Structure 1
Amino acid sequence: MSSQELIEREQSVLYPIYRRLPIAIASASGCWITDLDGRRYLDLISGIGVNALGHGHPRVLEAVRQQMERYMHVSNLFYQEPQVSLPERLCRRTGYAAVVYSNSGAESWEAAIKLARRWGHRNGKTGAIITFSGGFHGRTYGALSTMDKPLYKDGMGPFLPNVEILPYNDPDALEAAITDHTCAVGLEFIQGEGGIVEATPAFVERIDLLRKRHGFLLIADEVQSGCGRTGDFFAFERFGIRPDIVTLAKALGGGLPLGAVLVSAALLDVWERGQHGTTYGGNPLACAAGCAVLDALVGDADGDAGLLVHVRNLGDRIRADLEALRAEYPWLVRSVRGRGLMLGLVLSEDATHLRDALLRRGIIANATATHVLRLLPPLILTEEEWAVALAALVDALAERATAKAADAAIQP
Structure 2
Amino acid sequence: MSTDIISREHEVLFQNYRRLPIELDYGKGSYLYDTSGKKYLDFLSGIAVNALGHSHPKLVDAVVKQAQKSMHVSNFFYQESQVRLAELICELGSYQRVFFSNSGAESFEGAIKIARLWGSKHNKTDIYAFHGGFHGRTYGSLSLMDKAIYRDGMGPFLPNMHVLPFNDIDALHSAINEHTCAVALEFLQGEGGIIHAEPEFINALESLKEQYNFLIIADEVQAGAGRTGSFFYFDKYLIKPDIVVMAKGMGGGLPLGAIVTTDELSKVIEKGMHGTTYGGNALACVAGIVVMEELKNGVQHNAKEMGCYLKDALHEVQKEFSDHIIEIRGCGCMQGIVLKYEASALVTELLKQNIITNATAINVLRLLPPLTISKEEIDEFINGLKISLQSLKQ
Instruction: Give TM-score scaled by structure 2 length.
Output: 0.98
1:389 aligned onto 2:381: yes
Match of 2:274 in 1: 276
Shift of 1:211: 0.8
Distance 2:230 2:73 in 1: 35
Shift of 1:62: 1.1
Distance 1:339 1:209 in 2: 27
Query: For the Cα contact (< 8 Å) 1:51–1:378, is it kept in 2?
Result: yes
Shift of 1:85: 0.9
Deviates more, 1:375-384 or 1:64-73: 64-73
* Counterpart code for 1:45: L
Distance 1:129 1:247 in 2: 16
Distance 1:8 1:351 in 2: 28
Match of 1:87 in 2: 86
The aligned runs of 1:258-297 (5 Å cut-off) are 258-297=256-295
Q: Secondary structure at the match of 1:12?
A: helix
Distance 1:249 1:334 in 2: 31
* Counterpart code for 1:9: R
* Counterpart code for 2:311: R
> Deviations for 1:65-99, whole angstroms, at most 9, x for unmatched residues?
12112111111111111111110111122221111
Match of 1:377 in 2: 369
Match of 1:159 in 2: 157
Match of 1:181 in 2: 179
Match of 1:135 in 2: 133
* Counterpart code for 2:334: M
Q: Secondary structure at the match of 1:277?
A: coil
Distance 2:42 2:124 in 1: 45
Deviates more, 1:197-206 or 1:58-67: 58-67
User: Taking every aligned residue pair, what percent have the same amino acid on both sides?
Assistant: 51
1:317 aligned onto 2:309: yes
Distance 2:7 2:380 in 1: 32
Distance 2:200 2:218 in 1: 17
Shift of 1:285: 0.1
The aligned runs of 1:8-407 (5 Å cut-off) are 8-126=7-125, 128-298=126-296, 305-402=297-394
Q: Secondary structure at the match of 2:121?
A: helix
* Counterpart code for 1:345: I
Distance 1:95 1:323 in 2: 34
* Counterpart code for 1:151: I
> Deviations for 1:189-230, whole angstroms, at most 9, x for unmatched residues?
000011000011101111111111111000000000001110
Q: Secondary structure at the match of 2:12?
A: coil
Shift of 1:139: 0.5
Distance 2:7 2:39 in 1: 21
Q: Secondary structure at the match of 1:345?
A: strand
Shift of 1:181: 1.6
Q: Secondary structure at the match of 2:337?
A: strand
Query: For the Cα contact (< 8 Å) 1:3–1:35, is it kept in 2?
Result: no
Q: Secondary structure at the match of 1:343?
A: strand
> Deviations for 1:158-195, whole angstroms, at most 9, x for unmatched residues?
11110110000011210111111200000000000110
Query: For the Cα contact (< 8 Å) 1:3–1:23, is it kept in 2?
Result: no
Shift of 1:4: 2.8
Shift of 1:239: 0.3
Distance 1:208 1:196 in 2: 22
Shift of 1:328: 1.7
> Deviations for 1:82-123, whole angstroms, at most 9, x for unmatched residues?
111110111122221111111000000000001000000012
Deviates more, 1:311-320 or 1:17-26: 311-320
* Counterpart code for 2:55: G
* Counterpart code for 1:170: D
Deviates more, 1:279-288 or 1:2-11: 2-11
Instruction: Give TM-score scaled by structure 1 length.
Output: 0.94
> For structure 1, which runs of at least 5 residues remain unmatched after alignment?
299-304, 403-412
> Deviations for 1:22-62, whole angstroms, at most 9, x for unmatched residues?
11111111111111122110000000000010011111111
> For structure 2, which runs of at least 5 residues remain unmatched after alignment?
none
Shift of 1:3: 3.5
Distance 1:358 1:271 in 2: 47
Query: For the Cα contact (< 8 Å) 2:143–2:162, is it kept in 1?
Result: no
Runs of 4 or more above 3 Å deviation: none
Distance 2:49 2:156 in 1: 31
Query: For the Cα contact (< 8 Å) 2:194–2:335, is it kept in 1?
Result: yes
Shift of 1:336: 0.5
Query: For the Cα contact (< 8 Å) 2:40–2:356, is it kept in 1?
Result: yes
Distance 1:25 1:61 in 2: 19
Number of matched pairs: 394
Distance 1:355 1:268 in 2: 43
